[in-house]
Amino acid sequence: MTGDSAIIYAGETAQPVRMGRTGAGTVIGAAPSVEAAARLAARLAGEGVGTIQLCGATGLVWTAAVERAVGGRARVATVLFGFESLIQVARFKELVIAGRPVTMLFLCLQEGADPAVDRLERQEGAVRALFVAVPDPGAGAAVAAGLAGEVELIELYGGFAPNAAAAVIEAAGERVAVGAAMSPAAQRE
Protein backbone atom coordinates (compact mmCIF):
# COMPACT_ATOMS: atom_id res chain seq x y z
CA MET A 1 0.00 0.00 0.00
CA THR A 2 3.00 2.29 -0.08
CA GLY A 3 2.06 5.51 -1.88
CA ASP A 4 -1.66 4.93 -1.49
CA SER A 5 -4.01 7.47 0.03
CA ALA A 6 -6.99 6.55 2.19
CA ILE A 7 -10.48 7.84 2.83
CA ILE A 8 -12.05 7.05 6.18
CA TYR A 9 -15.74 7.79 6.47
CA ALA A 10 -18.15 7.54 9.41
CA GLY A 11 -19.95 4.23 9.06
CA GLU A 12 -20.09 0.64 10.17
CA THR A 13 -16.73 -1.07 10.23
CA ALA A 14 -16.02 -2.76 6.92
CA GLN A 15 -12.89 -4.31 5.51
CA PRO A 16 -10.99 -1.51 3.72
CA VAL A 17 -11.10 -1.80 -0.08
CA ARG A 18 -8.48 -0.47 -2.50
CA MET A 19 -9.56 1.35 -5.66
CA GLY A 20 -6.98 1.66 -8.41
CA ARG A 21 -5.63 -0.62 -11.07
CA THR A 22 -2.11 0.77 -11.51
CA GLY A 23 0.30 2.64 -9.29
CA ALA A 24 -0.93 4.34 -6.16
CA GLY A 25 -4.57 3.79 -5.30
CA THR A 26 -7.13 4.91 -2.77
CA VAL A 27 -8.04 2.76 0.22
CA ILE A 28 -11.67 3.20 1.32
CA GLY A 29 -12.46 2.35 4.96
CA ALA A 30 -15.25 2.98 7.44
CA ALA A 31 -15.16 3.57 11.17
CA PRO A 32 -18.11 3.83 13.58
CA SER A 33 -16.28 5.94 16.17
CA VAL A 34 -13.36 8.29 16.65
CA GLU A 35 -11.43 5.49 18.40
CA ALA A 36 -12.01 3.07 15.53
CA ALA A 37 -10.93 5.73 13.01
CA ALA A 38 -7.72 6.37 14.95
CA ARG A 39 -6.93 2.62 15.06
CA LEU A 40 -7.64 2.21 11.34
CA ALA A 41 -5.55 5.27 10.44
CA ALA A 42 -2.63 4.06 12.57
CA ARG A 43 -2.77 0.67 10.86
CA LEU A 44 -2.92 2.20 7.39
CA ALA A 45 -0.05 4.59 8.13
CA GLY A 46 1.98 1.62 9.39
CA GLU A 47 1.31 -0.12 6.06
CA GLY A 48 2.67 2.87 4.14
CA VAL A 49 -0.44 4.87 3.26
CA GLY A 50 0.89 8.40 2.82
CA THR A 51 -2.29 10.47 3.08
CA ILE A 52 -5.34 9.80 5.22
CA GLN A 53 -8.43 11.85 4.44
CA LEU A 54 -11.52 11.99 6.66
CA CYS A 55 -15.03 12.56 5.37
CA GLY A 56 -16.92 15.69 6.33
CA ALA A 57 -19.20 13.79 8.73
CA THR A 58 -16.25 13.08 11.01
CA GLY A 59 -15.20 16.60 11.93
CA LEU A 60 -12.16 18.13 13.57
CA VAL A 61 -12.28 15.99 16.76
CA TRP A 62 -11.75 12.87 14.60
CA THR A 63 -9.03 14.70 12.66
CA ALA A 64 -7.11 15.53 15.84
CA ALA A 65 -7.39 11.93 17.09
CA VAL A 66 -6.22 10.55 13.73
CA GLU A 67 -3.28 12.97 13.64
CA ARG A 68 -2.21 11.78 17.09
CA ALA A 69 -2.64 8.13 16.08
CA VAL A 70 -0.52 8.36 12.92
CA GLY A 71 2.19 10.33 14.71
CA GLY A 72 3.46 12.07 11.58
CA ARG A 73 3.69 8.87 9.49
CA ALA A 74 0.96 10.14 7.14
CA ARG A 75 -0.49 13.47 6.11
CA VAL A 76 -4.01 13.92 7.51
CA ALA A 77 -6.78 15.92 5.84
CA THR A 78 -10.48 16.40 6.51
CA VAL A 79 -13.32 17.52 4.28
CA LEU A 80 -14.48 21.05 4.96
CA PHE A 81 -17.40 22.84 3.35
CA GLY A 82 -17.41 26.44 2.14
CA PHE A 83 -19.99 28.99 3.12
CA GLU A 84 -21.86 28.40 -0.15
CA SER A 85 -22.64 24.81 0.94
CA LEU A 86 -23.69 25.30 4.56
CA ILE A 87 -27.46 25.29 3.95
CA GLN A 88 -27.21 22.15 1.80
CA VAL A 89 -25.03 20.43 4.42
CA ALA A 90 -27.62 21.23 7.10
CA ARG A 91 -30.39 19.82 4.88
CA PHE A 92 -28.33 16.70 4.19
CA LYS A 93 -27.75 16.18 7.93
CA GLU A 94 -31.50 16.57 8.62
CA LEU A 95 -32.30 13.92 5.99
CA VAL A 96 -29.75 11.50 7.48
CA ILE A 97 -31.05 12.02 11.02
CA ALA A 98 -34.63 11.43 9.78
CA GLY A 99 -33.54 8.18 8.09
CA ARG A 100 -34.48 9.45 4.63
CA PRO A 101 -32.61 8.04 1.61
CA VAL A 102 -29.57 10.11 0.60
CA THR A 103 -26.70 9.64 -1.82
CA MET A 104 -23.19 10.98 -1.34
CA LEU A 105 -20.55 11.16 -4.06
CA PHE A 106 -16.90 10.89 -3.08
CA LEU A 107 -14.65 11.99 -5.98
CA CYS A 108 -11.02 10.87 -5.67
CA LEU A 109 -8.25 12.26 -7.88
CA GLN A 110 -6.17 9.27 -8.94
CA GLU A 111 -3.71 9.16 -11.83
CA GLY A 112 -4.83 6.86 -14.63
CA ALA A 113 -8.32 6.37 -13.21
CA ASP A 114 -11.28 5.52 -15.39
CA PRO A 115 -14.47 6.93 -13.79
CA ALA A 116 -16.61 4.38 -15.64
CA VAL A 117 -14.68 1.49 -14.04
CA ASP A 118 -12.97 2.77 -10.90
CA ARG A 119 -16.08 2.92 -8.71
CA LEU A 120 -17.24 1.52 -5.42
CA GLU A 121 -20.68 1.69 -3.88
CA ARG A 122 -21.52 1.19 -0.23
CA GLN A 123 -25.00 1.22 1.30
CA GLU A 124 -25.64 1.63 5.03
CA GLY A 125 -29.30 1.90 5.87
CA ALA A 126 -30.70 4.83 3.92
CA VAL A 127 -27.25 6.25 3.09
CA ARG A 128 -25.72 5.37 -0.26
CA ALA A 129 -22.06 6.29 -0.82
CA LEU A 130 -20.58 6.33 -4.32
CA PHE A 131 -16.79 6.46 -4.58
CA VAL A 132 -15.54 7.39 -8.05
CA ALA A 133 -11.87 7.81 -8.99
CA VAL A 134 -11.16 10.44 -11.65
CA PRO A 135 -7.88 11.09 -13.50
CA ASP A 136 -8.10 14.88 -13.35
CA PRO A 137 -10.27 17.67 -11.94
CA GLY A 138 -12.09 18.18 -15.26
CA ALA A 139 -13.29 14.59 -15.15
CA GLY A 140 -14.47 15.26 -11.58
CA ALA A 141 -16.63 18.15 -12.76
CA ALA A 142 -18.05 15.98 -15.56
CA VAL A 143 -18.94 13.16 -13.13
CA ALA A 144 -20.50 15.69 -10.73
CA ALA A 145 -22.60 17.15 -13.56
CA GLY A 146 -23.73 13.69 -14.62
CA LEU A 147 -24.77 12.65 -11.12
CA ALA A 148 -26.04 16.01 -9.81
CA GLY A 149 -29.66 14.86 -9.97
CA GLU A 150 -28.90 11.77 -7.88
CA VAL A 151 -26.70 13.16 -5.08
CA GLU A 152 -27.23 15.54 -2.20
CA LEU A 153 -23.59 15.88 -1.19
CA ILE A 154 -20.18 15.67 -2.92
CA GLU A 155 -16.80 15.37 -1.23
CA LEU A 156 -13.52 15.92 -3.08
CA TYR A 157 -10.36 13.97 -2.25
CA GLY A 158 -6.82 13.77 -3.52
CA GLY A 159 -5.91 17.42 -3.89
CA PHE A 160 -8.65 19.30 -5.74
CA ALA A 161 -7.37 22.89 -5.91
CA PRO A 162 -9.87 25.71 -5.21
CA ASN A 163 -10.44 26.39 -8.94
CA ALA A 164 -11.14 22.67 -9.54
CA ALA A 165 -13.49 22.55 -6.53
CA ALA A 166 -15.28 25.62 -7.88
CA ALA A 167 -15.77 23.84 -11.22
CA VAL A 168 -17.38 20.88 -9.37
CA ILE A 169 -19.62 23.27 -7.41
CA GLU A 170 -20.75 24.90 -10.66
CA ALA A 171 -21.26 21.52 -12.37
CA ALA A 172 -23.28 20.10 -9.46
CA GLY A 173 -25.61 23.06 -9.10
CA GLU A 174 -26.87 24.98 -6.11
CA ARG A 175 -28.80 22.18 -4.39
CA VAL A 176 -25.72 19.95 -3.87
CA ALA A 177 -23.30 20.54 -1.00
CA VAL A 178 -19.65 20.30 -2.08
CA GLY A 179 -16.70 20.03 0.29
CA ALA A 180 -13.00 19.33 -0.24
CA ALA A 181 -10.35 17.57 1.82
CA MET A 182 -8.01 20.12 3.38
CA SER A 183 -5.02 19.53 5.59
CA PRO A 184 -5.05 21.30 8.95
CA ALA A 185 -1.39 20.33 9.48
CA ALA A 186 -0.25 23.73 8.21
CA GLN A 187 -2.15 25.42 11.03
CA ARG A 188 -0.55 26.33 14.34
CA GLU A 189 -1.55 24.22 17.31
pLDDT digits (tens, 9 = 90+) for 129-167: 999 999 999 999 999 999 989 999 999 999 999 999 999
Distance between CA 179 and CA 182 in Å, rounded?
9
pLDDT digits (tens, 9 = 90+) for 96-140: 999 999 999 999 999 889 999 999 999 999 999 999 999 999 999
- Span 4-51, pLDDT tens digits: 899 999 998 777 888 876 667 899 999 999 999 999 999 999 999 999
Are 122 and 14 in contact, with CB atoms under 8 Å apart? yes
- The letter for the amino acid at 83 is F
Closest to 3 (Cα-Cα) out of 132, 107, 136, 158: 158
- Which amino acid makes up residue 109? L
How distant is the alpha carbon of residue 115 from its chain centre? Answer: 16
Is residue 165 classed as helix, strand or coil in its secondary structure? helix
Q: In the prediction, which pLDDT does 188 show? A: 43
| pTM for the structure as a whole | 0.92
Query: For the segment 58-102, what is each residue's pLDDT rounded down to a tens digit?
Result: 989 999 999 999 999 999 999 999 999 999 999 999 999 999 999
User: Which residues on adjacent β-strands are paired with residue 131?
Assistant: 106, 120
Closest CA to 36 of 17, 12, 56, 4: 12
Q: How far is CA 90 from CA 58, 101, 174, 177, in A?
A: 15, 15, 14, 9
Q: How far apart are CA 84 and CA 81, in angstroms?
A: 8
Phi and psi at 106, nearest 5°, equal -105, 110
Provide the pairing of β-strand 75-81 with 177-182: antiparallel
pLDDT at 19: 82
